[in-house]
Amino acid sequence: MEHFTIATVAEKSPDFRRVLWTGKHTQLVIMTIPAGGEIGEEVHEDIDQILTFVSGTGEARVAGEKREVVQGDLVVVPAGTRHNFVNTGPNPLVLYTVYGPPEHADQAVHRTKEEADAAEAAGADEPPTS
C-alpha cells in the first residue's frame, strides 16, 4: 500500500516536478510552480490529467478558457486538450496531479522548469512502458 498525506507532502517539496508513484495505468506527481512561473502550454494527446491545488493562486488555461484556481480547486484536462497553469500570486502554486496513463519517468525529480524541459527534450523523461 502507498499512503500519502498528499497536501503535506506537496507543500514540503521545493521541486518543480516530483513523481511520487507510478502504476500501470496512472501516475501521481506533485508540482511547485514559483511566483511568476507556469507549467507551460502543452497537449497530452493520449493522457487525461486531473490537477488538485494545495496552496497559492493561479490561472487555469484550458481549451481557450481561463479560470482562477485556489486551494481546494480541481481541474480536469481531457486527453488532447491544450492547457497551461500559471502562478498569479506572490507565493508558490502547489498542486498534485494524476496522469492516466503515466506521463513522466518513474521517480523523476525536476528541480526547475528548465531542468524538466531539458529532460523532456533529451528524451530522459519518458514514462515506463508495459
Residue 84 lies in a domain: yes
As for how many domains the chain has, the answer is 1
pLDDT beyond 60 at 130: no
SS3 letters across 83-94: EEEEECCCCCEE
Residues 67-78: what's their mean pLDDT? 98
Query: What is the pLDDT, as a whole number, of residue 36?
Result: 96
Residue 66 lies in a domain: yes
Name the H helices within 1-130.
Answer: 6-12, 113-121
- C-alpha cell at position 95: 498542486
- C-alpha cell at position 106: 518513474
24, 93, 94 from 72: Cα distances, Å: 27, 12, 11
How much of the chain exceeds pLDDT 70, in percent? 99
Q: What is the pLDDT of residues 5-36, one digit of tens each?
A: 999 999 999 999 999 999 999 999 999 999 99
Task: Quote the distance between the C-alpha of residue 50 and its chain's center.
Answer: 9
Q: pTM of the entire structure? A: 0.95
Residue 68 lies in a domain: yes
Residues 51-74: what's their mean pLDDT? 98
Residue 50 lies in a domain: yes
Average pLDDT of every residue of the chain: 96
Q: What is the pLDDT of residues 86-109, one digit of tens each?
A: 999 999 999 999 999 999 999 999
Question: What is the CATH classification number for the domain harbouring 14?
Answer: 2.60.120.10
